[in-house]
Amino acid sequence: MSEPIIELKNASIFQRENLVLANVNLTLNKGEFCYLIGRTGSGKSSLLKTLYGELPARDGIVRVAGYDLTQLRKKDTPYLRRKIGIVFQDFQLLFDRSVEKNLEFVLKATGWREPEEISKRIHEVLLMVGLADKRKVMPHRLSGGEQQGVAIARALLNHPDVILADEPTGNLDPDTTLDVMKLLRRISENGQAVLMATHNYTLMQKYPSRIANCKNGTVVCSEME
C-alpha cells in the first residue's frame, strides 16, 4: 500500500486568525486525481496555501510529500516546495524573459547548477506539454492555453510528488480548457497526485474523479458517479 502524498486528519485551516475549515480529513495517494470544489470564500485557496506552506498548519495531522506541516520550519519551506508543483489561474509567468528563461529561473532558484542539466530538463518538460518549439518565445506572444502549458511545465520541473492546481482553466476558452485538462489527467496517470480546484462542473462531468468539497466549514469527500 502506497504512502499518501497528502494526508490531513482532523486538521484546521486558518486564514490569519480566522478558522476557515475545521475537522478536515483528506487523503491523496500517488497517481490520484481529485477535484477541490466549493463556493467562493469556502476555503479552497486557503487549503491549497496551507498545503504548499504559505499558510501555517496549526493542528491535527497535515502531511505533504513526507513533510509534517504542523512542524514545518521556515527554512524547510523551499525543500517542501520542490516536491510540489503549483499551477495558478493567472499563470504567473515573468513577462520580461522568454519561456526558456522563465523555466531556467525556477531551476536555478531551486538549486540546479549545471547548464547542460538545466537545458535538458527544460526541453523535457516543454516536450511533455507540447511546447518544445516555444522555448525561445516571449510569454506575451503565446495564447492563454500556451501560457498555462508553460506554467504546468514549470510546475513539473523538479519532478514533484503532487501538483496543486488553483482554477487552472479559469481564464481559458472551452477548447483550451479541455487540452489543459487532458494534460493534467495524463500527469496523474504518470504517477503524480493532482489536486485541482475548479468551478467547472461541465469539465468534472466529462472527466469524473474524486471530489473534495469545501462546504459548511469542512471538507466532504465523495466519488463522482
Provide DSSP, the chain: -PPPSEEEEEEEEEETTEEEEEEEEEEE-TT-EEEEE--TTSSHHHHHHHHTTSS---SSEEEETTEEGGG--GGGHHHHHHTEEEEETT----TTS-HHHHHHHHHHHTT---HHHHHHHHHHHHHHTT-GGGTTS-GGGS-HHHHHHHHHHHHHTT--SEEEEESTTTTS-HHHHHHHHHHHHHHHHTT-EEEEE---HHHHHHS--EEEEEETTEEEEEE--
- Identify the band that residue 110 occupies on the pLDDT scale cut at 50, 70 and 90: confident
pLDDT of amino acid 224: 61
pLDDT given for residue 78 in this prediction? 86
Tell me, what's the pLDDT at 111?
87
pLDDT of 1 over the 80 cut: no
pLDDT digits (tens, 9 = 90+) for 155-212: 999 999 999 999 999 889 998 999 999 999 999 999 999 999 999 999 999 999 999 9
Determine the pLDDT at residue 112: 93
User: How confident is the prediction for the chain on average, in pLDDT?
Assistant: 93
Q: Would you state the cell numbers that stand for residue 126, as one nine-digit string?
A: 516543454
